């Protein structure tokens, strides 16, 4: 059971240049953030700079039988945090990530199981983050999350994620 004000132990970094095992990362995430157990995340995969979750709608239903906006918003924010955290881990950097700003646009109702895809807002975002970390020991990256129900884009979110300085 998590305690208020007590940080959860970090997951050890993967071996140099290695990738995180998605199942192991999700298991750690469920322990670190208890709410994750109830989000309906069924799978996670990375493809280049894109991080994708497959989710069941059942835990996020609203009173109308569609996706609840608050749950979907929490999922987009957390997926962005995971993108930044996993990017740092691939680069051998152990730092805290926080969401600094987030916004959403709801475009269509979510009526079934869905997928969320997170990518950098700009192609050079990861390179700029890497430069800032090297120069200042901290940095920021803008990420976009898109929720698809089938081929329908239902939600588009944007977030600025800050990498805090060491210490």
55-108 pLDDT per residue, tens = 999 999 999 999 999 999 999 999 999 999 999 999 999 999 999 999 999 999
Comparing CA positions, the residue from 144, 118, 115, 110 lying closest to residue 54 is: 115
Give the model's pLDDT for residue 96: 95
Closest by Cα among 12, 10, 162 to 97: 162
> Sign of torsion, CA 132 134 137 140?
positive
| Structural domains of the chain ordered from first start | 22-163 (3.10.129.10)
Q: Where are the beta strands (DSSP E) in the chain?
A: 41-47, 50-55, 97-106, 114-120, 139-149, 152-163
Q: How far from each other are the two terminal CA atoms of the chain, in whole angstroms?
A: 26
Query: Is residue 111 over pLDDT 70?
Result: yes
Q: What is the pTM of this model?
A: 0.95
For residues 20 and 143, the model is more confident at: 143
Instruction: Identify the pLDDT of residue 17.
Output: 65
Percentage of the residues of the chain whose pLDDT score is greater than 70: 98
Distance CA 155, CA 127 (A): 27
The encoded tokens of residue 48 equal 């280049």
Residues paired with residue 151 on neighbouring β-strands, in sequence order: none
């Amino acid at each position: 059971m998590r305690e208020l004000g007590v940080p959860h132990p970090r997951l050890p970094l993967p071996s140099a240049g290695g990738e995180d095992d998605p199942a192991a990362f999700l298991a750690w995430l469920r322990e670190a953030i208890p709410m994750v157990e109830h989000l309906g995340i069924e799978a996670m995969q990375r493809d280049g700079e894109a991080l994708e979750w497959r989710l069941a709608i059942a835990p996020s239903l609203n009173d109308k039988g569609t996706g609840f906006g608050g749950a979907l918003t929490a999922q987009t924010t957390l997926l962005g945090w995971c993108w930044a955290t996993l990017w740092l881990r691939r680069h051998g950097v152990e730092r805290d990530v926080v969401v600094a700003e987030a916004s959403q646009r709801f475009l269509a109702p979510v009526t079934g199981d869905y997928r969320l895809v997170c990518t950098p807002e700009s192609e050079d975002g990861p390179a700029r983050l890497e430069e800032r970390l090297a120069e200042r020991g901290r940095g920021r990256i803008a990420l976009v999350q898109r929720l698809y129900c089938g081929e329908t884009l239902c939600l588009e979110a944007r977030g600025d994620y800050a990498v805090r300085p060491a210490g």
